Amino acid sequence: MMFIGTSLGGCLQSILAGEVSEDDVLCIISRTAAKDLDGLMRVVEQYCGNGNMFATNPNNYSKLRDFPLEEVKDLAWRLYLSGKIHQPRMINDEVGFVHPELSRYNLWLEIAPSPNDTPAVVNAYNQYKMLVELTKDELDSQY
């Protein structure tokens, strides 16, 4: 499966806890506005020390300090350098976040099965996509 994350600190915690594989992360949409890697590392240090009192879901940060700081920073570094951390506020500070309601209820958004999934999962997903296409005109006409 491939995932889009909705919280930098929450996703770092989730990946380190083994809930989602780093390889399965397409991107993480973050409310951060770190201008460079050093700025991002300062944000990560704050998350590991004090959590994030401004977070939609502060529990996403509660166990982050249980992991060694260098391990958390290494993960954030890899995600940043691979282009997987998207910061909409760097484009327009008034935007803040693309879909705030998604982050309130979902840390991860599953987007598609990965190529290494079982054939049955891939087949089911392909059938789902076909149904979406078949009903697309019907849905468009309702709006």
74/27 same-domain check: yes
Helices 37-50 & 8-16, crossing angle to 10 degrees?
Answer: 70
137/107 same-domain check: no
> Residue 66, class by beta-carbon neighbours within 10 Å (0-12 exposed, 13-18 middle, 19+ buried)?
exposed
Question: How many structural domains comprise the chain?
Answer: 2
| 115 confidence band (pLDDT: 50, 70, 90) | low
Contact 2/112 with Cβ under 8 angstroms?
Answer: yes
25/51 same-domain check: yes
Length of the chain equals 143
pLDDT in tens, 123-139: 777 777 777 677 766 55
87/26 same-domain check: yes
82/69 same-domain check: yes
pLDDT in tens, 47-102: 998 777 777 777 778 888 899 999 999 999 999 999 999 998 888 766 555 555 56
Q: Can you give the residue range of the structural domain that contains 134?
A: 115-143
Q: SS3 letters for 1-61?
A: CEEEECCHHHHHHHHHCCCCCHHHEEEEECCCCCCCHHHHHHHHHHHHHHCCCCCCCHHHH
Q: 96: closest CA among 60, 47, 54? A: 54
15/29 same-domain check: yes
Contact 8/28 with Cβ under 8 angstroms?
Answer: yes
68/128 same-domain check: no
CA–CA gap between residue 31 and residue 51 (Å, rounded): 14
23/63 same-domain check: yes
99/135 same-domain check: no
32/13 same-domain check: yes
51/99 same-domain check: yes
Q: Taking phi first (over 0 means left), then psi (-120 to 50 degrees means alpha), and beta for anything else, what does residue 35 get?
A: alpha
107/125 same-domain check: no
